[in-house]
Structure 1
């Protein structure tokens, strides 16, 4: 971490509650959480926003994970790619499927609807200023509602923002997220070297 943040032993109030909940849930405090505490009042605000968006996310956790993974590649965020690769191994059933997704989601065996979703997420993360009505119409044609389209854009945008913030503050992925398979680990290292 490049910046001084609040450590678990010095955390108080809402920051301490967030830290304790994360440690209870996964066994450690992620740098992706601690990096917000250079300004401690920001962590509870971000947690509330992020959890609020996820709680009502119209595309389910599979959609959230897929969109996040593709947006993280565009950032490019090694941290977020490694973290979400781990959860996608369980979601998709194998490391080979995650590698296929990372290399080319259009040829990774996803449904046409998921491919359209990820193409839009990629566009948003790469350069949202080039989004056109045509992109939206294409999503509607394959069955996405406006709420779902908004959620794709929201998820990809959030990931672009937080991935860049993590890198800017020096947050690095914890070793627990690194796969033992060197080829897989190298493929997930899309930005900052580990």
Structure 2
């Protein structure tokens, strides 16, 4: 990490609560969480926003993770690519499936609705100024409600915000998230070397 953050032993109040909850869930506190404590007045709000958005995501946790993987590639964020690839391997049960989606989701055997969702997320992350009303119409044709479309846009845009901050302050993925397979690890290293 490039900047000073609050160490776990020095954490108090809301920061201590955030650290304790993450350590209980993961067994450690991620650099992606710690890096926000350089802004201790912002860290609790960022944590709250993440949990509210993810827990109330209208398309389910796996789709949150798929969108995040595709958006992270566009940023490009090695940190988020590695974290979400690892989570998706557990969700989908296949390293090869995750690799295929990350490489080319349009030709990875996904259904047309999921491909449309990821294409929209990719565009939001790449250049949202190019999204048109026709793009929204296409999503509606695939059966997405306006709430779901807003959720996709939020998830992709949120990942850009988070990932860019992580890279800007030097947060790096913990070894837990790095796959032992060199080909898979190389594919998920889309930005900074890990």
TM-score category (smaller protein): over 0.9
Alignment size in residue pairs:
194
Provide, for residues 105-160 of structure 1, a one-character-per-residue CA deviation record: whole Å limited to 9, x for no partner.
00111110000000000000000011100100000001000000000000000001
Tell me the equivalent position of 2:116.
Answer: 116
Cα shift at 1:162: 0.2
- Match of 1:9, SS state, is helix
Tell me which residue corresponds to 2:20.
Answer: 20
What residue ranges of structure 2 are gaps of 5+ in the alignment? none
The CA RMSD over aligned residues, in Å, is: 0.6
Residues 1:73 and 2:73 are matched in the alignment: yes
Distance 2:55 2:96 in 1: 30
Name the CA distance, whole Å, in 2 between partners of 1:91 and 1:114: 15
Shift of 1:90: 1.5
TM-score, normalised via structure 2 length:
0.99
- 1:116-155 alignment to 2 at 5 Å? 116-155=116-155
CA distance in 2 between counterparts of 1:96 and 1:115 reads 17
Moved over 2 A (4+): none
1:15 Cα deviation from its structure 2 partner: 0.2
Alignment of 1:85-100 (within 5 A): 85-100=85-100
Q: Give 1:49 deviation, angstroms.
A: 1.2
